[in-house]
Amino acid sequence: MILFSGTALFWFIALGLAIGWAFGMIIKKEGIPLWANIMWGTFASVLTGIIGMFFGFGDGLLFALVYTLAFLFIANVFHHHHKEDIKGGDIYSIHVKKR
């Protein structure tokens, strides 16, 4: 079993920052904001990395990568506030011409 160390923590934080930034750039304003993607990506990476190390899934980095991607995907997909809701636009309105 690999022990949790400062080096492992550094790599989990770096991985979470990179994945959070990438998700924020890809999703733009459709999901949670960029700063939230970075924050939750870092949190999820550290948490899942420690869990992966505890259960003996290698060094935990691959486990952290996969589950941080899954966590941010779920957080962004099930986010309820889209830019149309915030700006007040109604994209599903149907306009019928009166004769």
| pLDDT classification of 81: cutoffs 50, 70, 90 | low
Angle formed at CA 19 by CA 50 and CA 7, multiple of 5 degrees: 40
The mean pLDDT value for 18-41 works out to 90
Average of per-residue pLDDT values in the chain = 83
What pLDDT was estimated at residue 58? 79
Q: Residue ranges of the domains in the chain?
A: 7-78
pLDDT per residue as tens digits for the range 8-29: 899 999 999 999 999 889 988 7
**Mean local confidence (pLDDT), 36-45:** 94
- CB neighbourhood size of 62 (10 A): 13
Give residue 19's pLDDT.
Answer: 95
The token pair at 75 is 């957080």
In this structure, the number of other CB atoms found within 10 A of the CB of residue 5 comes to 10
